Amino acid sequence: MAATDITKAVDLSIHAEGTGPKRLRRPVYVDFMPPCNSACPAGENIQAWMAHAQSGNYFEAFQTLVEDNPFPAVMGRVCVKPCETGCNRNHIDDTVNIHAVERYIGDEAIKQKWPVQFVVNSTEKKVLVVGAGPGGLSAAYHLARMGHTVEVYDAGGHPGGLLWTGVPDYRLPKEILDAEVDRIVKMGVKIRLNYKVQDVLTEKQAGNFDAVYLSIGAQLIRKEDFQHDDSVYITDAFSFFNEVKSNTSPYVRKKVVVYGGGKLALYLARMIKRFGSEVSVYFPGDNKMMPAYDYETEDALAEGVDVQLFRSISKIEKYKMTLEKMKVEKGKAVGTGEFETTDADVLIIANRQESDSGFLRSVAGIVVNEDGTVAINAERMTGYEGIFAGGDMLPGENRSSTIAIGHGKKAAKYINGYLMQEPYQKPEKHPTASYRKLHMWYKTDAPQKEQDKLAPAVAVKSFEEVITGLSEPEARFEAQRCLSCGNCFECDGCFGACPEDAIIKLGKGNRYKFNYNACTGCAVCYEQCPCHAIEMIPEPVNSTTDVK
């Protein structure tokens, strides 16, 4: 029922005693789910930390942010930002630049050396985390906040997983990643590097661990089936990333072909462009099938990377690569029987990532799929009791650092419930405050402050960070563009509009309450609430007038 209909109903309704209008509905203060919060895979309370940033209290913004995500400076750079897609400001002008504000807060925390504030008592429980990528470190971080002793084992020589091996410096400077990992270590989490777990049950027993969280990522590339000679140097994305740390010569001033359509393929193609080489990216499907986001493809194209869709490698012979032209039928790429050739010196396979999870096949109860992904139940546990899993090693094509961080946080809650014998119960999710629920009575014109970017011709000359951060005034302005959807921000709209003075102010930060003895249910407060923090609900049966 619309607010105007409610008002009419109140006006027409009369008490049986004939003493005046009967209130059919009463207003209540509610908290709806902001669409940005709802869309965030890491489960960040975006609106809460954004509110602190609005007032310039970045320390509190940081503390609120890291309750959910230990990597604000990292995610402010590499997150694919679904929160911004869901932002209600898209219906007015443009999304709040959420990731840029998060980046500012994260960078400020590193600059000021802010610690994570939390108080917890030791549980005397030990957890082994296998994999020091964003998912594993997220789980370790949250488990440490819960009072558990956590050790992380990783086969690589540096923590960070794909954030370290697969994200170039022009997107994520390594010192930023190191600073946020170091913050986790200072919380007491131990990280053991260059140690590949081969027998998880033996490790669990030897270390007296009470639970295990598996988050080994997807750092294998499935081999492509095509004929080839030795004329073209063929490697895969992760071998490439490891090789160029010490030797870039195979990729300098060459004609390089990258096969794949994810952000991994575009990352390394843009790296190769910085080596002064000609680079083309081939993908067998169409734009909809391409895993990379449009803006990632656009950035690569702007830097001179040649991106070709509907192309599949058929064979390589005498420095000639034969490509079959493809078409899409029923959501799948199929061959057309038409072919073309191109010259190439190097081919890098960056298609179809998989997890190196073969070591789990011998563990009774753990189901390992053909692509290396692992099955889990609703409590994030594998088929072996006490062994949990998450991140890129779970089935599904949507792989990102933010999703892995969210998996780690969720798993930590279930692992904690398992260890403490108090099973975690997922709370009921509040309804989302969509734009059509808002009652915007004030002017909101405030164009987004975009981040500056290096010109493509300049960017390809070095590995300098392409996208810059916001200044403090810019970050605060951007935070103040937030509409506070679904949550009261004490604008006094309801207080000033109530004709019966039925709304009582409780002081800054404490919001308001209703005096139902005075309230007539006219719904003016509801209509004046810009963020939909007031809902009209049916008058309870046999209700008594009171103050609430």
Note whether residue 15 is domain-resident: yes
Q: Are residues 227 and 333 in the same domain?
A: yes
Residue 332 and residue 273 share a domain: yes
Q: At what angle do helices 46-54 and 472-480 cross, to 10 degrees?
A: 120
Q: Which of 336, 352, 368 is the last residue of a domain?
A: 352
Please write the tens of the pLDDT for every residue from 418-477.
Answer: 999 999 999 988 899 999 999 988 777 788 988 999 999 999 999 999 999 999 999 999
Residue length, the chain? Answer: 548
Angstrom distance (rounded) from CA 196 to CA 209: 17
- Tally of structural domains, the chain: 4
Among the residue ranges 17-26, 362-371, 390-399, the one predicted with the least confidence is: 17-26
pTM of structure: 0.90
* Residues 166, 271: Cα–Cα separation, whole Å: 11
Q: What are phi and psi of 300, to 5 degrees?
A: -65, -45
Q: Mean of the per-residue pLDDT values for the chain?
A: 91
* pLDDT score for 543: 58
Q: Is residue 461 one of the residues assigned to a domain?
A: no
Query: What are 344-365's pLDDT values in tens digits?
Result: 999 999 998 889 999 999 999 9
What's the CATH number where 364 sits?
3.50.50.60
276 and 339 fall within a common domain: yes
Task: Return the higher-pLDDT residue of 541 and 316.
Answer: 316
Radius of gyration of the chain (CA): 27
Identify whether 381 is part of a domain: yes
> Tens digit of pLDDT for each residue in 84-143?
999 999 999 999 999 999 999 999 999 999 999 999 899 999 999 999 999 999 999 999
Same domain, yes or no: 253 and 348:
yes
In this prediction, residue 212 has a pLDDT band, given cuts at 50, 70 and 90, of very high
Domain boundary among 352, 374, 408: 352
Q: Are residues 199 and 283 in the same domain?
A: no
Which CATH number do you get for residue 17?
3.30.70.20
pLDDT band for position 544 (cuts 50, 70, 90): low
- Domain holding 286, by residue range, is 221-352
Residue 134, φ and ψ in degrees, nearest 5: -60, -35
> Of 352, 370, 393, which residue sits at a domain end?
352
Is the domain of 345 the same as that of 237? yes
Q: In the Cβ-directed half-sphere of 153, how many Cα atoms lie within 13 Å?
A: 16
Same-domain pairing of 407 and 373 = yes
In this structure, the answer to whether residues 225 and 346 fall within a common structural domain is yes
Dist CA 124 CA 136 (whole Å):
20
**Does residue 278 fall inside a structural domain?**
yes
CATH number of the domain bearing residue 440? 1.10.1060.10
In a domain, 460, yes or no: no
Residues 16, 135: one domain? no
Residue 288: burial class (beta carbons within 10 Å; 0-12, 13-18, 19+): exposed
H-helix or E-strand containing 279? strand 278-282
| Residue 257 pLDDT | 97
Say if 424 falls within a structural domain. no
Residues 216 and 243 occupy one common structural domain = no
The contacts of residue 458 (CB under 8 Å, 6+ apart) are: none
Q: Are residues 475 and 494 in the same domain?
A: no
Tell me, yes or no, whether 543 lies in a domain.
Answer: no
Name the nearest CA neighbour of 103 among 65, 47, 158: 65
Same domain, 225 and 345: yes
% pLDDT > 90, the chain: 82
* 545 assigned to some structural domain: no
